[in-house]
Amino acid sequence: MTAPFDVIKVRLRAQPPQRVHRPDAREAAVALILAPGAGEELELLLIERAERSGDPWSGQMALPGGRREETDEGLLDTARRETREETGIELPPNSLLGELDDLFPNIKVLPEIVVRPFVFGLEFRPAVIPTREVAAHLWVSLLELQQRRRPAEVVIRQEKRKVDAFVLGERVVWGITYRIVATLLGMKP
């Protein structure tokens, strides 16, 4: 692995992830996929979820991932399976850099769910083959994310709210995805 991945791996290991135990909540996992971009600056894969009726995260910017299924051996398996299903990207076991703290949505109207973020480092940007669950994707440098961190206005249940966000043109990364990515940015090389 390259030096930037080594630095992130060391920082992740130095801060053991905090776990949330909520027996009434469903478990989910997401993948933060890093790869070198232009000028060797690390880039992160973000997806835009397809518009789907009944999906509280419909149309939002997100990380590949989803709910744990009974057939998953664990949450790492969930993150890898969901990434493969949503983007066509295979995450080899040796690409795992570490894990971040478990999180749950702050918005009370969302389903009870605990999300475990896994960080992966790939030596090159793989092709993304989106499925019906993914409307679009983009690779964005960690530096650009830092520079585009600002409050934004979003609509939550027909109500406008000001939230912390990464504003990427017309796309806004907010909520639990913002919190996960902001944690990662706190340990970037």
Which pTM was predicted? 0.92
pLDDT in tens, 28-71: 999 999 999 987 789 999 999 987 766 656 678 999 999 999 99
Determine the residue type at 46.
Answer: L
The domain limits of the chain are: 3-144
pLDDT of 97 strictly over 80: yes
pLDDT of 108 strictly over 70: no
pLDDT in tens, 10-26: 999 998 999 988 888 89
* Fold (CATH) for 3-144: Nucleoside Triphosphate Pyrophosphohydrolase (3.90.79)
pLDDT in tens, 69-95: 999 999 999 999 999 999 999 999 999
* Mean pLDDT of the region 115-121: 97
The residues, ordered by sequence, that sit 6+ positions from 175 with a Cβ below 8 Å of its Cβ are: 60, 105, 106, 107, 163
Between CA 127 and CA 125 the distance in angstroms is: 7
13-17, 87-91, 110-114, 117-121: least confidently modelled range = 110-114
Between CA 98 and CA 1 the distance in angstroms is: 14
The residues, ordered by sequence, that sit 6+ positions from 169 with a Cβ below 8 Å of its Cβ are: none
Helical H segments across the chain, by residue range: 3-14, 75-87, 142-147, 175-185
Between CA 122 and CA 117 the distance in angstroms is: 16
1-5, 13-17, 119-123, 182-186: least confidently modelled range = 1-5
Buried b (16+ CB within 10 A) or exposed e, 106-135: eeeeeeebbbbbbbbbbeeeeebebeebbe
The reported pLDDT for the residue numbered 1 is 47
